[in-house]
């Protein structure tokens, strides 16, 4: 098997100083980026802050494995192959990075506020925005590589086979992280929420750091309100698991349940306050006046008015406007249906995985717990009945399922590992077919925001032509 870890990178005396220096360096560089006037300097400082964060994490772990480097490089190559040029970014998505809290509370204001920290109320060129998104995407790829590798550490060689299969499946599937690398999903603000989720998974079981989870949960909601239906369940399931893991009625158990209750309560209050009060916080009365102001702040516009539509849709449209868009688009021939359909085998895989955990587990409360990841699926489906970005929804739905599996494996849950071992035997028996299927999905490419990739659409169109040619026979 591939070597899991290198030797310790830093000595016990140097390591704390390096971690502190990296964190302080990231903060100082962020401050310098805000003060800088030239785009080139701001871009250099933004990438420098990103590198400092990565270095701080590596110093904290004090090792860097070959598998982490392989996964990060694989994602890097995918990014280089798919990323659009600055002038080719989606104007709709670009508009989201100008909805900072200085203009009012929007449903996706966190990412814009982070960018605002670097730029103030100054000019933001398309090139600067592109580099900011690149840094955030690099952090996401870095987090994914660490998260996947953690699940491989300390398990048997047979279990590693299944974990490698899961990693290969996620990285190559229609819902791979590469969804966020290319047009039109490049820059989707979900990438910031996913980074927060990986941080939560890393600290939720740590005695003191776990109390940061409620704040990070608020950050997830602040990234995009729709994430209440997709990424928030991951936080709840993780905290629930850590609560039932402790002895009932013990002090640790009570603290775990308290953390879950505080996180859920804060999320619900924040959600309710947004719905009740957000509209009254906007500085501009309509999208026209807001657009006129932003014309002086950026050159990320397009000739078709998509940027202005993004402002209107995000900050000024009502729920009824969103629902009307759903009603106008949904039907049997809706392109998003194919994006969901081609991903159903992966959904079925996870349903089978959790049912097997349920059947193997003997302790009652833990046994019922393994049905929660399945019970979450109908809750996820609510978003499909309200909004029509089906490609995005199925991507996040399955990202949470992958993350839960990796998380429980990394914690060495005995029931999950038993299912992993049995799954490894299936993987070995069907290794050729699995490899072929994964390579085929990687070749066809990830889903878009609504529909399947151009390659899948081309195949579907060609098949229709082929069969249509025989109708006259």
The pLDDT value recorded for residue 346 is 95
The pLDDT value recorded for residue 195 is 95
Closest CA to 79 of 161, 145, 30: 145
- CA geometry: angle at 141 spanning 8 and 415, to 5°? 75
Tell me how far apart the alpha carbons of residues 245 and 415 are, in angstroms, rounded to a whole number.
12
Residue 471 confidence class, pLDDT cut points 50, 70, 90: low
Percent of the chain with pLDDT over 70: 94
Q: Where are the domains of the chain?
A: 1-64, 65-468
pLDDT tens per residue across span 46-66? 999 999 999 999 998 888 888
Neighbours of 344 (CB within 10 A): 10
Tell me how far apart the alpha carbons of residues 239 and 251 are, in angstroms, rounded to a whole number.
15
Query: Is residue 430 over pLDDT 90?
Result: yes
The pLDDT value recorded for residue 5 is 55
Residue 75 confidence class, pLDDT cut points 50, 70, 90: very high
Tell me how far apart the alpha carbons of residues 57 and 144 are, in angstroms, rounded to a whole number.
13
Q: Are 209 and 258 in contact (CB under 8 A)?
A: no
Lowest mean pLDDT among 217-231, 299-313, 431-445: 299-313
Q: What are phi and psi of 298, to 5 degrees?
A: -155, 160
Q: Is 62 left (phi over 0), alpha (psi -120 to 50) or beta?
A: left
The pLDDT value recorded for residue 199 is 95
- 213-223 and 110-119 helices, crossing angle to 10°: 90
Show the tokens assigned to 72.
Answer: 């990060």
Q: What is the mean pLDDT of the chain?
A: 88
The 3-state DSSP class for residue 241 equals helix
Residue 174 confidence class, pLDDT cut points 50, 70, 90: very high
- The position carrying tokens 């990323």 is 83
What's the predicted TM-score (pTM) here?
A: 0.91
């Amino acid at each position: 098997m591939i070597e899991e870890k290198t030797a310790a990178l830093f000595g016990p005396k140097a390591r704390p100083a390096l971690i502190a220096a990296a964190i302080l360096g990231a903060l100082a560089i962020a401050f310098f980026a805000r003060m800088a006037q030239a785009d080139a300097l701001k871009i250099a400082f933004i990438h420098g802050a990103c590198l400092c964060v990565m270095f701080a994490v590596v110093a904290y772990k004090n090792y860097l494995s070959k598998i982490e480097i392989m996964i990060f490089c694989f994602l890097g190559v995918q990014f280089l192959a798919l990323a659009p040029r600055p002038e080719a970014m989606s104007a709709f998505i670009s508009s989201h990075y100008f909805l900072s809290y200085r203009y009012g509370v929007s449903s996706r204001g966190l990412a814009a506020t982070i960018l605002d920290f670097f730029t103030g109320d100054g000019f933001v060129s398309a090139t600067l925005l592109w580099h900011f998104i690149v840094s955030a995407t690099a952090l996401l790829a870095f987090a994914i590589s660490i998260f996947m590798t953690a699940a491989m550490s300390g398990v048997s060689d047979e279990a590693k086979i299944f974990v490698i299969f899961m990693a290969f499946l996620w990285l190559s599937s229609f819902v791979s992280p590469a969804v966020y690398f290319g047009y039109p999903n490049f820059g989707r603000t979900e990438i910031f929420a996913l980074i927060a989720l990986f941080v939560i998974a890393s600290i939720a079981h740590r005695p003191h750091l776990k109390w940061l989870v409620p704040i990070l949960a608020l950050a997830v909601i602040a990234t995009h309100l729709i994430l209440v239906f997709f990424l928030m369940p991951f936080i709840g399931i993780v905290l629930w698991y850590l609560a039932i893991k402790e002895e009932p009625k013990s002090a640790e158990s009570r603290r775990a349940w308290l953390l879950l209750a505080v996180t859920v309560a804060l999320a619900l209050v924040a959600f309710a306050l947004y719905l009740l009060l957000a509209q009254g916080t906007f500085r501009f009365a309509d999208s026209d006046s807001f657009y006129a102001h932003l014309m002086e702040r950026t050159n990320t516009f397009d000739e078709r008015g998509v940027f202005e539509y993004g402002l209107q849709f995000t900050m000024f449209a009502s729920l009824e406007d969103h629902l009307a868009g759903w009603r106008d688009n949904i039907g049997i021939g809706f392109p998003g249906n194919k994006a969901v359909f081609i991903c159903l085998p992966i959904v079925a895989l996870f349903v089978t995985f959790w049912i097997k955990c349920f059947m193997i587990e003997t302790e009652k409360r833990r046994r019922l717990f393994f049905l929660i990841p399945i019970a979450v699926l109908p809750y996820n489906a609510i978003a499909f009945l309200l909004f029509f970005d089906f490609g995005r929804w199925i991507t996040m739905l399955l990202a949470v399922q992958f993350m839960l599996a990796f998380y429980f494996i990394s914690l060495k849950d005995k029931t999950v590992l038993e299912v992993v071992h049995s799954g490894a035997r299936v993987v070995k028996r069907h290794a050729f077919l699995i490899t072929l299927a994964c390579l085929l999905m990687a070749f066809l490419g990830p889903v878009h925001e609504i529909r399947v990739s151009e390659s899948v659409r081309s195949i579907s169109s060609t098949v229709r032509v082929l069969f249509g040619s025989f109708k006259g026979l």
